[in-house]
Amino acid sequence: MKEVELKRKSIHHYIARFGDRYQERDLSNICSYIKAMASGGFLFLLASAAVVFCAICFGDLFAWLVAGILNGWTSLNTLGGIPLVVMGTMAFLFLIAFIVDIIHQFRKRRAKQERSQPGILALAYKSWKEKICFKIKLVG
């Protein structure tokens, strides 16, 4: 059986390492690698849900503190929302610009690379369909 090379700097490797943090799997075959990716994706979603929950619970307190700081702790009810809306809109626009830039850089870098072997999803599907676990070698 042929050994498949996967890059260490790929996003799926970071997800697999995040999922493998507590189980200490042998990531030398595609089956354990996919299991580590699945558990890493689940842990990431769980952590994201916890952050969103905390943001919802403590968002009003944070908004009240920011409004108090921006207004010098005077008339919090009348003017508190306007700076928060402006700051939130600016943060949202910067976030969108940042995401668009990341996507643009990713596509530009990917266009330069030539694909010599199938990607991780194609390998996972092939190993599932043929019921074999390929050996993988992490490079770079």
Please provide the average confidence, as pLDDT, over all residues in the chain.
78
Quickly state the pLDDT bin for 21 (edges 50, 70, 90).
low
Q: Is the pLDDT of residue 30 over 80?
A: yes
User: What is the pLDDT at residue 23?
Assistant: 63
d(CA 11, CA 117): 17
Query: Could you tell me the residue range of the domain that residue 61 belongs to?
Result: 3-139
User: What is the pLDDT at residue 136?
Assistant: 84
**pTM metric for this prediction:** 0.55
Q: Based on the structure, what is the number of domains in the chain?
A: 1
Among the ranges given (24-28, 32-36, 71-75), the one the predictor scored with the smallest mean pLDDT: 71-75
User: What is the pLDDT at residue 76?
Assistant: 47
User: What is the pLDDT at residue 79?
Assistant: 52
Q: Is the pLDDT of residue 129 over 80?
A: yes
d(CA 16, CA 10): 10
Percent of the chain topping pLDDT 90: 0
Question: Tokens 């996003």 — which residue?
Answer: 11
Among 81-95, 108-122, 124-138, the range with the most confident prediction by mean pLDDT is 124-138
Q: Is the pLDDT of residue 78 over 60?
A: no
Buried b (16+ CB within 10 A) or exposed e, 90-113: eeeeeeeeeeeeeeeeeeeeeeee
